[in-house]
Copies of this chain bind each other. A is one copy, B any other.
Amino acid sequence: MRDNRKRARELRVAYIGGGSRGWAWGFMTDLAMDGDMCGTVSLYDIDRPAALRNQRIGTRISAHPDAAARWEYEVADSLEGALRGADFVVISILPATFEEMRSDVHLPERVGVWQPVGDTVGPGGFMRAMRTIPMFVEIGEAIRAYAPDAWVINYTNPMSLCVRTLYHVFPQIKAFGCCHEVFGTQKLLCDMLAREYGIPGATRQALSTTVTGINHFTWLTRASYGDIDLMPLYAAFADKYYDSGYDEGGDDNWMNNHFKCAHRVKFDLFRRYGAIAAAGDRHLAEFTAPWYTRSPEEVLGWKYQLTTVDWRVKDLSDRLKRSDALISGAEDIALKPSGEEGHLLLKAVLGLGDMASNVNLPNRGQIPNLPLGSVVETNALFGMDHVAPVFAGPLPGNLLALVARHVYNQENTLAAALACDRKLGFTTFMNDPQMAAVPVPEGQRLFDDMLENQRAYLPGGWFR
């Protein structure tokens, strides 16, 4: 009768992409700091040495004297090995290498398409999806076979398509996708309250917001803090900082940090569309016509940065060094919350505390004017073995026109990837708003070259 409580002490978590440098460390730390759950994390990675290193780091974290829970870390030899018996599955993989990512992000520059991230939509996101979807087909089939009752959290991009693929392969899967981009905008609202309106102490969790849209192009159409309506406050805030941008302070302003921004794109979207776009500017800019990405100069003017692959290479090298330090003990383990919510959602579905948060789920009507089945991001209620989306209402007409376009592309991208369909693939690739000004013949050459650049990671069907 009380299996869950027992289960919470003997959990098995399968971590696919368990060699992750960085994100995994935060997750392992969050687990160590929470006394309500313990068990075993099985790390699986096609880069087995990386998983072995994380096993050692995880074991060190778990052994920290202040840890509230002791977790075992093991390395699995196969997807099956990781998944058998799993209560939870976490998926956080890097599809292919930086070389493929370099093609995704930078090759389109030759036709004048500058992508700030290139992993979600745009030509880069499309191409990344072509190689990622087959991987998620494999993962989804393995979950169906070996862990059909497990709860599955995805962190991999392109988020919408990864979750969509899992449900396509295994419609009964209990999967959702988590992303912290909305959190950042919620924190911006708290910051605004404190600094602009003299109302300190607001936390992201204390805000009441209606979240709607799709991952990385998510919107707040309503926001309040207690009995304070935040929408008029944000309108004044956006006007005030429209030209200068808004600096959240600290050393990490947008000039120094690839992930930071001055929110000018966000403010511009608010002034034209009347809703709060809830992601970093570098993500938001990729979903519209090339208003914010026309050239590196235009990007500079909007005060955010293009995240180059060179920067990523450098950043990884730093993280590898940190990995060495964590293993060797040269760096002390610090028990500091990661800011992610994954471990809290695990607790919620275990029945250890209901909670609400924004997640990516198939549309069951939570956004009634988007197609059913497409993956959308809204709030949901998490309870014991249960997640229920909260009705977000129809997208306002002007946002619908922006968002629906990507939802249709999402469906066509999936279909093209599953069928290795060059015709459907190319029309979808060209339908991305970032490609709107590219002539068809140039687009065709780009499409062919980008496919060729990741040939090693694509099914053979593409090259017959």
> Which of A's residues lie within 8 Å of B, judged by CB?
1-2, 4-5, 8, 197, 208, 210, 222, 224, 226-229, 232-233, 268, 272-274, 289-291, 294, 350-352, 354, 356, 364-366, 368-369, 371, 381, 383-386, 388-393, 397-398, 400-402, 404-405, 408-409, 411-412, 415, 423-424, 426-428, 430-431, 433, 435-437, 439-440
Contact = CB atoms under 8 A, between A and B. Distances in A.
Contact of A294 (B224, B268, B439): B439
A364 B391 contact: yes
B210 A386 contact: yes
Contacts of A433: 436
B289 A227 contact: no
Given A392-B388, A426-B272, A350 B227 contact: yes
Given A386-B208, A412-B401, A352 B227 contact: yes
Nearest to A292: B440
A420 to B, nearest CB: 15
A391 B388 contact: yes
A5 B388 contact: no
B401 A409 contact: yes
Nearest to A271: B423
Contacts of A354: 208
Given A208-B354, A408-B400, A437-B290, A229 B389 contact: no
Given A228-B384, A272-B440, 12 more contacts: A208-B383, A224-B351, A224-B386, A227-B352, A291-B440, A388-B391, A388-B393, A398-B412, A398-B423, A401-B412, A401-B428, A437-B437
B229 A289 contact: no
B351 A226 contact: yes
6 contacts: A1-B228, A273-B427, A291-B439, A397-B424, A400-B408, A401-B428
A385 B385 CA distance: 30
Secondary structure at the A interface, as helix, strand, loop or mixed, is mixed
A290 B222 CA distance: 36
A376 B401 CA distance: 17
Most chain B CB neighbours (cut-off 10 Å) among A208, A371, A405, A424? A208
B368 A371 contact: no
Contact of A1 (B232, B350, B388, B408): B232
Given A228-B4, A401-B412, A433-B436, A208 B391 contact: no
Given A390-B390, A401-B405, A384 B351 contact: no
Given A436-B289, A437-B436, A229 B401 contact: no
B1 A427 contact: no
Contacts of A388: 210, 390-393
Contact of A424 (B398, B402, B430): B398
A29 to B, nearest CB: 24
Nearest to A427: B398
Nearest to A7: B227
A281 to B, nearest CB: 15
A371 B5 CA distance: 40
Contacts of A426: 272
A227 B2 contact: yes
Contacts of A226: 351-352, 384
A384 B227 contact: yes
A44 B63 CA distance: 68
A351 B294 CA distance: 43
A431 B401 contact: yes
A439 to B, nearest CB: 7
